A = this chain, B = another copy of it.
């Protein structure tokens, strides 16, 4: 357990930082604190005592050094689009917004890498890269900061082809708990030189240090992009098609699953007329001939599994039309109950267990006192359940929590994980023991070794 920051220590810290940085970059305004105490999850805001807006790694180092000396917790904040209560301040303290550290520092086209400050968002880097023929692929949906995406181990729909943040961060600059600054690697594409600190900080959710700069892998924008959609007679047939596609070595860029009920919701919401059956949405990247060949291979595999109406296109406009149901899915699920809020959760299982896991989850959903929907990054065995819930209703929240606990137990029993891409935050900390067993003690030892006073985003990932 961390101790709550003392009022005097916070006051002294805030005054010192205001002198250092200027009053306009150190805010104690209630609205600013409230906004920085919550992300997009169902967790209520836990406002920090102050929010600061540094402009350099050196400033972040100085802020953390002073906070450490006064035993004040420190929480890093990107855009606040995390989904498990990653950014609240349960023990008070100061939030470091990376908002103003938003410069692209270098693009090395020959090396296909870029160096950015942590506050650069994924849309910003891709806009910056527009004329280079390169792009950064990781796409969690929200326009999150790249620092936040690294901190939470984000991924998204195209992880099946390009990997997650884990595979796409080459190195980072990190401010440690004592305010010192380290670089976790080099721009070399691979290294066997010492412990892999880059991967240790990816997904550590600010509990081991504050990420201030990142070296990222970039990719060539594919010459051609095509898309396909197919409906299946069963969930199992859709998942089997995905398995066979990957086994056949088709380098599919995206493969998303919507169950029949979610398709029905989207049909209603968006005025579409998809068959109300489990449906796969594919995207292919490659040469013009390559994407055609990929789609052909998948069409043949899908047909073997009883798919109906395999629709394929290589034009951008048609592609958006084919994928509209997938893009609208979350809004369509929310629209099942106007005025209520979304509560998304996710798990990931070995793909051989995916249809079983989704089927049992759909069965379990029948008893929920509110609507819910499922969307799956099926190529990775990762799927989301979105509850449409009245967050003020304690009974509903309890039902959601119980359902979530069963979902996680189901995934863990299938040798899966409690979260494939949303992270732990506060929301899933109670499942860590169950998932990791004795390995949780190793995580705690690492936490204590790097943050002995438990001041870095305390109360998240592991209880120290």
Partner-B contacts on A (CB < 8 A) = 108-113, 133-134, 152-155, 159, 163-164, 166-167, 176, 180-197, 199-200, 202-204, 208, 219-220, 222-223, 243, 246-249, 251, 285-287, 289-290, 293, 297, 348-352, 380-382, 411-412, 415-424, 428, 431-432, 435-443, 445-450, 461-462
Residue among A190, A223, A247 with most chain B CB within 10 A: A190
- Are B188's CB and A424's CB within 8 A? no
- Are A352's CB and B194's CB within 8 A? no
Query: In chain B, what residue has the closest Cβ to A422?
Result: B192
- Are B196's CB and A203's CB within 8 A? yes
A457 CB to nearest chain B CB (Å): 13
Q: A188-B415, A247-B112, A416-B187 are in contact. Are A182 and B442 (CB under 8 A)?
A: yes
- Are A421's CB and B192's CB within 8 A? yes
A187 / chain B contacts, CB cutoff of 8 Å: 350, 415-416
What is the CA–CA distance of A73 and B259 in the complex, to the nearest angstrom? Answer: 55
What is the CA–CA distance of A449 and B449 in the complex, to the nearest angstrom? Answer: 6
Query: In chain B, what residue has the closest Cβ to A461?
Result: B194
- Are A200's CB and B195's CB within 8 A? yes
- Are A181's CB and B438's CB within 8 A? yes
| Copies of this chain, whole number | 2
Query: In chain B, what residue has the closest Cβ to A431?
Result: B193
What is the CA–CA distance of A167 and B196 in the complex, to the nearest angstrom? Answer: 12
- Are A195's CB and B351's CB within 8 A? no
- Are B182's CB and A417's CB within 8 A? no
A450 / chain B contacts, CB cutoff of 8 Å: 442, 445-446
- Are A189's CB and B293's CB within 8 A? no
What is the CA–CA distance of A435 and B426 in the complex, to the nearest angstrom? Answer: 36
Q: A195-B461, A196-B200 are in contact. Are A348 and B247 (CB under 8 A)?
A: no
Q: A180-B438, A449-B448 are in contact. Are A443 and B195 (CB under 8 A)?
A: yes
Which 5 A/B pairs are nearest by Cβ-Cβ distance? A199-B199, A449-B449, A110-B352, A191-B417, A153-B192
Query: In chain B, what residue has the closest Cβ to A246?
Result: B112
A287 / chain B contacts, CB cutoff of 8 Å: 249, 293, 297
A449 CB to nearest chain B CB (Å): 4
A159 / chain B contacts, CB cutoff of 8 Å: 190
What is the CA–CA distance of A265 and B246 in the complex, to the nearest angstrom? Answer: 42
A381 / chain B contacts, CB cutoff of 8 Å: 111, 188-189
A10 CB to nearest chain B CB (Å): 28
B196, B208, B251: the one contacting A199 at CB < 8 Å is: B196
- Are B449's CB and A417's CB within 8 A? no
What is the CA–CA distance of A167 and B204 in the complex, to the nearest angstrom? Answer: 18
- Are B380's CB and A111's CB within 8 A? no
What is the CA–CA distance of A419 and B154 in the complex, to the nearest angstrom? Answer: 28
Query: In chain B, what residue has the closest Cβ to A165?
Result: B192
- Are B419's CB and A191's CB within 8 A? yes
- Are B290's CB and A188's CB within 8 A? no
What is the CA–CA distance of A199 and B461 in the complex, to the nearest angstrom? Answer: 17
- Are B220's CB and A182's CB within 8 A? no
- Are B416's CB and A186's CB within 8 A? yes
Q: A223-B249, A243-B110, A446-B449 are in contact. Are A415 and B197 (CB under 8 A)?
A: no
A418 CB to nearest chain B CB (Å): 5
B199, B297, B351, B432: the one contacting A194 at CB < 8 Å is: B432
A200 / chain B contacts, CB cutoff of 8 Å: 195-196, 199-200, 446
B189, B202, B289: the one contacting A196 at CB < 8 Å is: B202
Q: A287-B293, A443-B195 are in contact. Are A155 and B190 (CB under 8 A)?
A: yes
Query: In chain B, what residue has the closest Cβ to A452?
Result: B445
